[in-house]
């Protein structure tokens, strides 16, 4: 039997998916999303949504053309490119004074950026990029893991890279240099990166202006449709969720009972809302409208 809307909400709260305040700050929070993107926790997969807390062991994945920003508790930002998949780990208990965490980049591109305030805090963050492991303590680094090669580019700061084919760590202290290793082969010597190449790499992980992005502070809203029954509303909600879009259901009083409105909120601009409306309308076969 299909669950009612109220039972679905109760299940979300029980499973810890609802966005509620907790006594201790979470180790990371989803800052912005260019859907489709997903979060898998305890073998349950749901759309990634801004404001969502991340926990130790979470799997984050982005679809084709998607991106996601994750803000760590100590202030650093992790940006994920399209078709990326990472495991998130955190063992730090005092993110205000010391943060310990790790990212396992299974595939795709990422960028780790430490802000000015975050640079004053102690951290031990390790990022595994295929066969390479990057030790980070205050820096700006871009990387990608693919079926062909593992790549790490130091934009600013200082990192150490360990690779399974090397006995010793590679110390990278010169900005604008990169480390690359073909799969199953020893790494090439660290070399300077061309600024044009870096700009191209950065665009893979940046949410560009005008993109159909969602944030916790976005004010534009999409309406996927109205339904006269819980079952119809849940059907549309499920279809949007399966496609990787964080829909919700608003229950409004109607002339003959209730109207169930399926919406997606938090679009960063009207341009972003229009772009998502066009893409999602084609994908779901519904007329999606921009509310505000």
Dist. CA 27–CA 99, nearest whole Å: 8
Q: What is the model's pLDDT at position 244?
A: 96
Q: What is the model's pLDDT at position 55?
A: 92
Dist. CA 101–CA 56, nearest whole Å: 9
> Helix, strand, coil proportions of the chain in percent (round to 5)?
20, 45, 40
Which residues contact residue 65 at a Cβ distance below 8 angstroms, ignoring those fewer than 6 apart? 34, 82
Q: What is the model's pLDDT at position 195?
A: 96
Q: Please list the ranges in the chain whose pLDDT falls under 70.
A: 1-24, 92-98, 115-123, 137-138
Which residues contact residue 263 at a Cβ distance below 8 angstroms, ignoring those fewer than 6 apart? 221, 222, 223, 224, 247, 248, 249, 250, 291
Q: What is the model's pLDDT at position 16?
A: 45
CA neighbours closer than 13 Å in the CB half-sphere of residue 249: 26
Q: What is the model's pLDDT at position 252?
A: 87
Q: What is the model's pLDDT at position 92?
A: 60
CA neighbours closer than 13 Å in the CB half-sphere of residue 292: 4
The closest of 140, 130, 51 to 85, measured between CA atoms, is 130
Structure tokens at 41: 């926790």
State residue 243 phi and psi, 5-degree precision: -80, -5
CA neighbours closer than 13 Å in the CB half-sphere of residue 120: 3
* Distance from the Cα of residue 44 to its chain's centroid: 17
| Chain region(s) in the chain for CATH 2.60.120.1440 | 20-205
| Chain region(s) in the chain for CATH 3.30.70.1070 | 214-290
The closest of 98, 92, 104, 162 to 129, measured between CA atoms, is 104
Structure tokens at 182: 């073909």
Which of these CATH numbers, 3.30.70.1070, 3.20.20.70, 3.40.710.10, 3.40.50.2000, describes 214-290? 3.30.70.1070
Using DSSP bridges, classify how beta strands 98-113 and 122-129 pair: parallel, antiparallel or unpaired. Answer: parallel
Question: 20-205 architecture in CATH?
Answer: Sandwich (2.60)
Q: What is the model's pLDDT at position 292?
A: 72
């Amino acid at each position: 039997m299909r669950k009612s809307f109220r039972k679905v909400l109760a299940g979300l709260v029980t499973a810890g998916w609802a966005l509620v305040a907790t006594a201790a700050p979470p180790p990371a929070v989803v800052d912005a999303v260019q859907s489709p993107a997903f979060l898998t926790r305890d073998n349950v997969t749901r759309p990634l949504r801004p404001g969502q807390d991340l926990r130790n062991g979470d799997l984050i994945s982005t679809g084709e053309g998607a991106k996601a920003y994750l803000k760590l508790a100590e202030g650093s930002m992790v940006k994920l490119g399209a078709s990326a998949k990472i495991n998130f780990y955190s063992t730090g208990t005092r993110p205000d004074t010391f943060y310990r965490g790790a990212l396992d980049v299974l595939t795709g591109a990422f960028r780790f950026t430490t802000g000015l305030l975050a640079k004053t805090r102690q951290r031990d963050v390790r990022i595994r990029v295929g066969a390479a492991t990057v030790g980070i303590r205050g820096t700006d680094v871009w990387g990608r893991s693919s079926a062909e090669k593992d790549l790490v580019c130091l934009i600013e700061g200082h990192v150490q890279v360990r690779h399974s084919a090397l006995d010793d760590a590679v110390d990278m202290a010169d900005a604008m240099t990169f480390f690359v290793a073909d799969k199953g082969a020893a790494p090439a010597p660290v070399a300077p990166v061309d600024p044009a190449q870096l700009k191209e790499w950065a665009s893979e992980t940046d949410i560009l202006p005008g993109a159909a992005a969602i944030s916790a502070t976005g004010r534009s809203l999409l309406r996927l449709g109205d339904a006269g029954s819980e079952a119809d509303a849940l059907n549309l909600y499920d279809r949007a969720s399966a496609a990787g879009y964080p829909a919700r259901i608003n229950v409004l009083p109607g002339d003959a009972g209730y109207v169930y409105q399926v919406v997606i909120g938090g679009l960063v601009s009207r341009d972003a809302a229009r772009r998502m409306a066009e893409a999602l309308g084609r994908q779901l076969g519904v007329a999606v409208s921009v509310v505000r």
